[in-house]
Structure 1
Amino acid sequence: MTVAKIKSFTHAAEKLGVRQPSVSLVIKDLEDDLQVRLFEKLGHKINLTAAGELLVQDAEDILSKVAGLRERMDELKGLKKGKLAIGGSPSSAASFLPFVVDSFKKQFSWVDTTLRIDRTANLEKRLLDGDLDVAILGRTPKSPLLVGELYQQDDIVAIAAPDHPLAKKSSVPLMRIAREPIIAEEKGSMVRDQLEERFARLGIPLMPKMELSSQIGARDALKNAVAGGLGVGFITRCHVKSDVEAGRLKIVKVPDFKLKRNNYLVVHKSRQSTPMVQAFVKILKREKGRW
């Protein structure tokens, strides 16, 4: 390109900081490879042949595309453009995750950010398939290709309507609660699985009077059912905090019941160090103290 612009091997070599024979050799090798003449000498000047003109046009186009590609890569490194697909369990979606996503979008408004709410097993599959960049799961990932770390931990508590007989007691054994109508999430949810395991230790089956889907809205339905006096429910403390403060529900203290609901930050090993994921994780950890 430099030889074509300056039309001199000697001056091109000076501009490039190399010896003139080196420039001539490169041109000769290129002509031999393409099997065409690229330059013709007219006196002390050289001009491009028709083949040379065509080569320069294509070379300029290629260099322009390479420059554009580098610029786009720099934009991506600087989080100026890009996409981020986030996944979350219904539990995280009902509490902190939408607020974290909103904080990310406010800071990186030019990033195409999407949020998908689904069950943990489905989210893990989407991470493995590359459909998601990062997700909040209700358990540690099963696949060795995924990396997970504990993000948040919350107590699972028993709740009842304020006028329920058990709500008026200072503490209630789990065996006593087991005799009440139980309102629980459907099988397969993290809270339900832990409840069944804990009840099994008591030697009694967990047979809920009402089972609710673990999708978004289920926790509100569970709280409404409990507040309406239909039975005793189990839910994570963060999801019932405002209801307790408002006097709508009451936490029943169960001394022999200590279960926790965990949320794990999970990413695919191949995407751990991508700028988008790192930026989101940074905001996620910064916002942690708010929930």
Structure 2
Amino acid sequence: MDIRQLQFFAEIVRYGSFTKAAERLHVAQPAVSMAMKKLEEELDLILFNRQERRISLTAEGEIFLRHAEKILDEVKSAETEMEELRGLAKGEVRVGIPPMMSAYFFPEIIRDFSNSYPDLHLTVSGEGASKIQKMIIDGELDMGVVAGASFPETLEVRRFLREEVIVCVPRSHPLASRGSLTLHEFARHPLIFYREGYYLRELILDVLRGAGLSPTIRFETNLYTLVKSLVQKGMGISVFLRMVVAEDDDLTAISLDPPLFLDLLIAWKKHGYLSRANRAFADYLLEKGSSAAL
């Protein structure tokens, strides 16, 4: 058994196909098939169900996957740490940031971080919080911004900001003069809302369900800019983080009664090796978040 076999195995599982894994790995498909056949012979186990159109794991394959992922994580961590000890670190940070946050809090963070650490390369992926969690666990991201109160045990999280969740209405709306709204008042109005996968959606729905309320969702989209535009045009009301509408002259932010807050956290894989570049970004974000809260 060698590392290359484990890499082939992990990619086949990820893409559910020998062919797609070969394309991802830039090798010939027969080479991937032969490597897996040899691996199964060495283990004296069948790892894949090959009768189905999409490759799936056997029970033995599921168990082996856990070990393979752990070994590959350790190898990657060792390679990164050794490069840093030799002074050869590439200094790359792969971070996931939800779209709403990337537009209203992070541009300044990214600019200032890049100015402070000009030799580090920062790559940002815009996804919903639940997708970011999965990408960190799968090793596609080094770290990411997540929200909520409960997380998989495989993640390490640190809070960097607490932001108020507000109701958003046009300036001309009858509610615009209100200082706050109860959940019952909020639930009476048609809602322009986010699609599944956005934590803000799940938070609001959980809060409403807890109060025995069910909102009328008039339109759903994963584009928060479209949500803003439709609210401005009077199609319905919505919820945002306060920072999103703080400087918008066409929209009014109204607090909920009682107020609702969202904790924003930076997360990375627990027990994984966090490079100096990633540690620098996490420390910088935590420092700036603390300053913003003052």
- TM-score category, normalised to shorter length: 0.5 to 0.7
Corresponding position of 1:135: 144
Offset of 1:239 from its aligned partner? 0.8
Offset of 1:101 from its aligned partner? 2.6
CA deviations 1:138-192 (Å, max 9, x no partner) are 2356332220111211111112111211213454433223222211212332111
Corresponding position of 1:53: none
Corresponding position of 1:119: 128
Could you tell me how far apart the structure 2 residues matched to 1:208 and 1:121 are? 21
Could you tell me how far apart the structure 2 residues matched to 1:170 and 1:278 are? 41
Contact 2:92–2:278, Cα closer than 8 Å, also in 1: no
Gap change, CA 1:167 and 1:274, over 3 Å in 2? same
Corresponding position of 1:250: 252
Identity fraction in percent: 21
Residue 181 in structure 1 maps to residue 215 in structure 2: no
Gap change, CA 1:253 and 1:91, over 3 Å in 2? closer
Which structure is larger by alpha-carbon Rg, 1 or 2? 1
Offset of 1:290 from its aligned partner? 4.5
SS in 2 for 1:168: coil
CA deviations 1:10-59 (Å, max 9, x no partner) are xxxxxxxxxxxxxxxxxxxxxxxxxxxxxxxxxxxxxxxxxxxxxxxxxx
Offset of 1:75 from its aligned partner? 2.2
- Report 1:68-217 matches (<5 A): 73-76=85-88, 81-139=90-148, 142-213=151-222
Offset of 1:103 from its aligned partner? 2.4
SS in 2 for 1:235: strand
Could you tell me how far apart the structure 1 residues matched to 2:186 and 2:208 are? 11
Opposite residue 233 of structure 1, the aligned amino acid is: S
Could you tell me how far apart the structure 1 residues matched to 2:150 and 2:139 are? 15
Corresponding position of 1:17: none
Could you tell me how far apart the structure 2 residues matched to 1:230 and 1:152 are? 31
Could you tell me how far apart the structure 2 residues matched to 1:207 and 1:249 are? 21
Offset of 1:227 from its aligned partner? 1.7
TM-score by length of 1: 0.64
Contact 1:92–1:263, Cα closer than 8 Å, also in 2: no
Could you tell me how far apart the structure 2 residues matched to 1:112 and 1:163 are? 45
Contact 1:212–1:222, Cα closer than 8 Å, also in 2: yes
Opposite residue 192 of structure 2, the aligned amino acid is: I
Could you tell me how far apart the structure 1 residues matched to 2:187 and 2:103 are? 27
Opposite residue 251 of structure 2, the aligned amino acid is: L
- Range 228-237 or range 279-288, more displaced: 279-288
Could you tell me how far apart the structure 1 residues matched to 2:150 and 2:189 are? 35
Gap change, CA 1:270 and 1:172, over 3 Å in 2? closer
Gap change, CA 1:171 and 1:139, over 3 Å in 2? closer
Gaps of 5+ in 2: 1-80
CA deviations 1:252-283 (Å, max 9, x no partner) are 34424x32222111112344553112211222
Instruction: Note the aligned Cα RMSD (angstroms).
Output: 2.6
Contact 1:140–1:149, Cα closer than 8 Å, also in 2: no
Match of 1:230 among 235, 248, 259: 235
Contact 1:141–1:147, Cα closer than 8 Å, also in 2: no
CA deviations 1:56-75 (Å, max 9, x no partner) are xxxxxxxxxxxxx9896342
Gaps of 5+ in 1: 1-68
Could you tell me how far apart the structure 1 residues matched to 2:184 and 2:150 are? 33
Corresponding position of 1:283: 284
